[in-house]
């Protein structure tokens, strides 16, 4: 089997530099080469400055070495994989690969990141051995964040190489791998751009503004926040134009070629250099007005930027209450209003087109759905969307002429769907996992393995003696339901299972405690109620730590406040690479009181050598909580001290629970025993308290923190130094939990804390009052 331990990336432009960054994220060193050493260095520096960050941690940057082709190519013999991401020109790529062939070691994999040149043509002229090891690996921009990698073999590529590359992209890089046929622009760009072109047609009618189109083609219809035009500004209109021209040039069907012809508006924008964010303007333009930055929108008729117009589309407002995305799309699509008309004119044709071309460009409808989910961040792929609306309904609304064969098959036998569903007509028919060891929680639920259920959480049997606590409320905010299920999970696992995993399939593990509930109680002055809530939460987190079976917590996405506290109490943590984890309670005027403050202190103090000055260790916990530090990735959570060296990272989100389960079973095999309660956590007493308070005082005097921050800071310092103890001492966990609860309750009574909570609930942002 081919192991990829070191890589050469050819071309340090947009894609090459970011591919090198993502390799570094996976711990793989790379040599990043361009025409000159300076160009490579500049490409790397540009990547370092990009937002969002292509690197998981600042340390990861060290794994990238830069150089020029002249000096660098002779060194590529050390690389197991050589990936090319230079300018999109066949002759230039071919010439470079000729040099690569001279220097690569036998057996090394070679690939191109081309978005549209036939892979077979790029490999022409090379030796048989080269061609056996050569294929397309098409990453999407930005490579860290967009999950798709299309893998395109040629007839000469050794299937073992395709398999090795797919495995590496999936497990090591965490990508969603889709095998594509060597057709123009492969799968996702081909289908995606067809949709974009139909939106341009709609824009040209003058019936819809840019803002209206983005409102319809965003999260309302299962598309990313950046919807259509902002996505294009981010990707670059020049890139879009390039892909469209390539399709026009290479597609064989005349009507299809016409369908990809660039509209005059885009031609003009590209001519003017208004290609999107990198040029400072595209369909939108950010300007400074009265000292504030404002985003203006383009008026396509006059090519002038104007203030954004408020979108008023009643059906979009109404559809907000429809939770399930498929049902929402169906309702909007069939609506008799402007939104329905827009979707029937734009989404309908792309569904028909996908049904027609999928057999030529992909190996299955599943792959087409995955490509669009992972490459364009669609919540539902084209065939999932067909099924959500109903095949017959789409056809009646949009299908003139003969339906494509795939559609005819879907209608055969009165099925009205591409995929069989659970009970005709009910529930979403989703693309299955691409391998049986992916999405194991979902498969368990489909096999009816739910042991217990309430509105906020469930217990699910993952098989092999592992039970899972799954949160499933909105943003997985933790309320009484979820807390009760954590407690029940520990009890059930101890009685009937070998191990417990806490994890879910949500985008976010948990956005934190249910603040709405807390605010209501605080405003009513129900201190006893709040006291009980905090006690229950502390009981649940401590229960995880002292369970009779090993507990592995598997966070992903936002894992904030209470979500982070749950994580801190796992025997082990298996964290997804894209996890934003932190104790952010201070932002809402509180301190972590679900055992988070106690746990951070205990962890930091565990690093302190006997007899050492405790201050630097306490200080670290103080700053992490006080600044509400949030990790920018899974590995970053280890760097911040939220996780331990014994915790693991999973690159591929769909494998997270598989890995968490395996880790839990490893712990069983290792002979897990419940840890003894910590009865002697060293605290610094008055000296440490005075030092921390001084820090708070100085920050306040320098104007860096508000009055309220100062108050919270002093409460935090109080807990972390052990409360009213006159000198250094050792305390129990319960002692610290009591201090946490006391501080939390008193902060709940502060008007400014209530103001902060209210603000965050309303805006999703934090208020620094
Ligand atoms: P880019 O223009 O940002 O970078 C291209 C790099 O090629 C530059 O660093 C440049 O110095 C180098 N280069 C230019 N002329 C060269 C020559 N004669 N010989 C060798 N190197 C030369 O381009 P990019 O957007 O990073 O695209 C690189 C490849 O990836 C292209 O094949 C493109 O189609 C593909 N791609 C791009 C995107 C995207 O969104 N930008 C997405 C997927 C795939």
pLDDT for res 1 = 57
CA of 56 from ligand 1 middle (Å) equals 23
Pocket residue to mutate for ligand 1, from 87, 94, 139, 232, most atoms within 8 A of Cβ: 87
Query: Considering Cα of 22, then 25, then 28, then 33, what sign does the dihedral take?
Result: positive
Element (H, E) at 150: strand 148-153
Query: Which residue CA neighbors atom 39 of ligand 1 most closely?
Result: 141
Pocket residue to mutate for ligand 1, from 11, 94, 95, most atoms within 8 A of Cβ: 11
CA of 46 from ligand 1 middle (Å) equals 14
Q: Which residues pair with 9 in a beta bridge?
A: 32, 83
Residue 389: which residues within 8 A CB-CB, separation 6 or more?
326, 329, 330, 333, 334
Which atom, in ligand 1's list, is nearest to the CA of 141?
40
623 by Cβ neighbours in 10 Å (0-12 / 13-18 / 19+) ranks as: middle
CA of 498 from ligand 1 middle (Å) equals 51
Pocket residue to mutate for ligand 1, from 8, 86, 121, 122, most atoms within 8 A of Cβ: 86
The phi-psi region of residue 273 (left if phi > 0; otherwise alpha if psi is between -120 and 50; otherwise beta) is left
Please give the DSSP secondary-structure letter assigned to residue 171. I
10 Å Cβ neighbour count for 405? 11
Q: Which tens digit of pLDDT belongs to each residue from 701-751?
A: 999 999 999 999 999 999 999 998 888 899 999 999 999 999 999 999 999
CA of 260 from ligand 1 middle (Å) equals 22
pLDDT surpasses 70 at 425: no
Average pLDDT in the 294-311 region?
Answer: 96
pLDDT for res 427 = 64
CA of 34 from ligand 1 middle (Å) equals 10
Residue 118: which residues within 8 A CB-CB, separation 6 or more?
182, 184, 250
**β-strands 134-139, 148-153: how paired?**
antiparallel
Residue whose C-alpha is closest to residue 130's, from 153, 107, 96? 107
Residue 504: which residues within 8 A CB-CB, separation 6 or more?
441, 470, 471, 472, 476
Rounded Cα gap, residues 177 and 367, in angstroms: 9
pLDDT surpasses 80 at 426: no
pLDDT for res 399 = 78
Task: Report yes or no: 103 and 73 within 8 Å, Cβ to Cβ.
Answer: yes
**What angle, 0 to 180 degrees and rounded to 10, lies between the N-to-C axes of helices 382-389 and 365-376?**
110
**β-strands 457-463, 450-453: how paired?**
antiparallel
CA of 463 from ligand 1 middle (Å) equals 47
Query: Which residue CA neighbors atom 25 of ligand 1 most closely?
Result: 14
Q: Which tens digit of pLDDT belongs to each residue from 663-704?
A: 999 999 999 999 999 999 999 999 999 999 999 999 999 999
Task: Report yes or no: 28 and 55 within 8 Å, Cβ to Cβ.
Answer: no
Task: Report yes or no: 348 and 407 within 8 Å, Cβ to Cβ.
Answer: no
Pocket residue to mutate for ligand 1, from 10, 12, 13, most atoms within 8 A of Cβ: 13
pLDDT for res 44 = 98
CA of 71 from ligand 1 middle (Å) equals 20
Which atom, in ligand 1's list, is nearest to the CA of 112?
32
pLDDT for res 753 = 98
Query: Which residue CA neighbors atom 12 of ligand 1 most closely?
Result: 86
Count how many residues are written for the chain: 769
In the block, tokens 């996780």 appear at: 643
Which atom, in ligand 1's list, is nearest to the CA of 89?
32
Cis-peptide, bond into residue 52, ω within 30° of zero: yes
Which atom, in ligand 1's list, is nearest to the CA of 84?
29
CA of 117 from ligand 1 middle (Å) equals 12
The phi, psi pair for 147, rounded to 5°, reads: -80, -20
Task: Report yes or no: 324 and 379 within 8 Å, Cβ to Cβ.
Answer: no
Residues contacting ligand 1 via CB (< 6 Å): 11-16, 34-35, 39, 43, 85-88, 92, 96, 113-115, 139, 141, 235, 239
pLDDT for res 415 = 85
pLDDT for res 424 = 45
Query: Which residue CA neighbors atom 35 of ligand 1 most closely?
Result: 114
Average pLDDT in the 234-251 region?
Answer: 96
Q: Which tens digit of pLDDT belongs to each residue from 313-343?
A: 999 999 999 999 999 999 999 999 999 999 9
In the block, tokens 């495995």 appear at: 167
* CA atoms within 13 Å, Cβ hemisphere of 200: 21
Question: Regarding predicted confidence, which is higher, 427 or 541?
Answer: 541
* Average pLDDT over the chain, rounded to an integer: 96
CA of 350 from ligand 1 middle (Å) equals 29
Average pLDDT in the 98-102 region?
Answer: 98
pLDDT for res 428 = 76
CA of 43 from ligand 1 middle (Å) equals 11
Average pLDDT in the 577-592 region?
Answer: 98
**pLDDT band per the 50, 70, 90 thresholds, residue 422:** low
Report in angstroms the alpha-carbon separations of 424 from 428, 444, 617. 10, 21, 60
Query: Which residue CA neighbors atom 36 of ligand 1 most closely?
Result: 115
Please give the DSSP secondary-structure letter assigned to residue 335. -
Task: Report yes or no: 296 and 287 within 8 Å, Cβ to Cβ.
Answer: yes
Rounded Cα gap, residues 214 and 607, in angstroms: 51
Residue whose C-alpha is closest to residue 410's, from 472, 333, 354? 354
Average pLDDT in the 116-142 region?
Answer: 97
- DSSP labels, 488-548: HHHHHHHHH-SEEEEE-SSSSSB-EE-HHHHHHHHHHT-HHHHHHHHHHHHHHHHHHHT-S
10 Å Cβ neighbour count for 524? 10
CA of 15 from ligand 1 middle (Å) equals 7
CA of 84 from ligand 1 middle (Å) equals 9
């Amino acid at each position: 089997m081919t192991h990829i331990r070191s890589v050469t990336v050819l071309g340090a432009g947009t894609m090459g530099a970011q591919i090198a960054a993502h390799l570094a994220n996976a711990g793989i060193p790379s040599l990043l080469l361009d025409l000159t050493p300076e160009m490579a260095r500049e490409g790397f520096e540009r990547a370092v400055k990009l937002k969002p960050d292509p690197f998981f941690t600042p340390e990861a940057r060290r794994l990238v070495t830069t150089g020029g082709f002249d000096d660098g190519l002779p060194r590529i013999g050390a690389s197991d994989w050589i990936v090319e991401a230079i300018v999109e020109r066949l002759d230039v790529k071919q010439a470079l690969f000729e040099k690569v062939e001279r220097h690569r070691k036998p057996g090394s994999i070679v690939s191109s990141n081309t978005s549209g040149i036939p892979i077979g043509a790029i490999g022409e002229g090379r030796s048989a051995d080269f061609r056996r090891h050569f294929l397309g690996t098409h990453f999407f921009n930005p490579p860290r964040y967009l999950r798709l990698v299309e893998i395109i073999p040629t007839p000469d590529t050794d299937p073992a190489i395709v398999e090795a590359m797919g495995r590496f992209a999936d497990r090591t890089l965490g990508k969603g791998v889709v095998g594509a046929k060597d057709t123009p622009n492969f799968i996702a760009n081909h289908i995606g751009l067809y949709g974009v072109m139909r939106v341009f047609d709609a824009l040209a009618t003058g019936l819809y503004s840019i803002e209206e189109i983005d409102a319809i083609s965003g999260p309302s219809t299962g598309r990313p926040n950046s919807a259509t035009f902002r996505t294009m500004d981010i990707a670059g209109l020049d890139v879009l134009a390039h892909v469209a021209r390539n399709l026009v040039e290479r597609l064989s069907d005349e009507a299809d070629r016409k369908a990809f012809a660039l509209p005059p508006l885009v031609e003009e924008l590209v001519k003017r250099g208004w290609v999107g964010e990198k040029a400072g303007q595209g369909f939108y333009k950010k300007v400074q007005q009265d000292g504030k930055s404002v985003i203006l929108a383009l008026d396509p008729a006059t090519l002038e930027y104007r203030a954004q117009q408020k979108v008023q589309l009643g059906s979009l407002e109404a559809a907000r209450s429809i939770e399930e995305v498929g049902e929402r799309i169906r309702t909007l699509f069939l609506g008799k209003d402007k939104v329905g008309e827009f979707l029937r004119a734009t989404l309908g044709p792309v569904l028909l087109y996908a049904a027609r071309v999928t057999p030529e460009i992909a190996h299955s409808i599943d792959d087409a759905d995955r490509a669009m989910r992972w490459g364009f961040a669609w919540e539902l792929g084209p065939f999932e969307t067909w099924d959500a609306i109903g095949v017959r309904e789409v056809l009646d609304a949009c299908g003139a002429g003969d339906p494509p064969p795939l559609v005819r098959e879907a209608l055969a036998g009165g099925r009205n769907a591409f995929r069989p569903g659970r009970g005709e007509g009910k529930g979403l028919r989703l693309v299955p996992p691409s391998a049986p060891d992916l999405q194991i929680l979902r498969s368990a639920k489909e096999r009816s393995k739910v042991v217990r259920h309430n509105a906020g959480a469930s217990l699910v049997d993952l098989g092999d003696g592992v039970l899972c606590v799954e949160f499933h409320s909105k943003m997985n905010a933790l309320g009484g339901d979820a807390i009760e299920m954590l407690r029940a999970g520990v009890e059930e696992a101890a009685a009937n299972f070998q191990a417990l995993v806490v994890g879910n399939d949500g985008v976010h593990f948990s956005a934190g405690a249910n603040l709405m509930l807390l605010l209501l109680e605080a405003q009513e002055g129900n201190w006893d109620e709040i006291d009980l809530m905090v006690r229950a939460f502390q009981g649940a987190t401590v229960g995880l730590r002292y369970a009779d079976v090993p507990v592995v917590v598997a966070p992903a996405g936002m894992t904030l406040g209470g979500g982070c506290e749950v994580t801190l109490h796992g025997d082990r943590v298996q964290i997804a690479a894209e996890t934003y984890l932190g104790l952010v309670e201070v932002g809402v005027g509180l301190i972590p009181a679900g055992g988070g403050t106690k746990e951070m202190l205990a962890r930091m103090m565990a690093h302190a050598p006997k007899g050492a000055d405790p201050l630097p260790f306490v200080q670290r916990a103080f700053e992490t909580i006080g600044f509400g530090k949030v990790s920018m990735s899974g590995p970053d959570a280890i760097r911040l001290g939220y996780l331990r060296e014994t915790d693991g990272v999973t690159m591929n989100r769909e494998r997270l629970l598989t890995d968490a389960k395996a880790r839990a079973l490893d712990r069983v095999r290792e002979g897990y025993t419940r840890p003894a309660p910590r009865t002697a956590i060293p605290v610094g007493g008055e000296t440490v308290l005075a030092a921390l308070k001084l820090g708070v005082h100085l920050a306040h005097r320098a104007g860096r923190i508000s009055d309220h921050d100062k108050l919270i800071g002093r409460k935090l310092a109080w807990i972390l130094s052990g409360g009213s103890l006159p000198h250094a001492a050792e305390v129990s966990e319960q002692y610290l939990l009591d201090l946490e609860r006391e501080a939390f309750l008193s902060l709940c009574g502060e008007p400014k804390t209530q103001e902060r909570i209210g603000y965050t609930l309303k805006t999703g942002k934090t208020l620094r009052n």
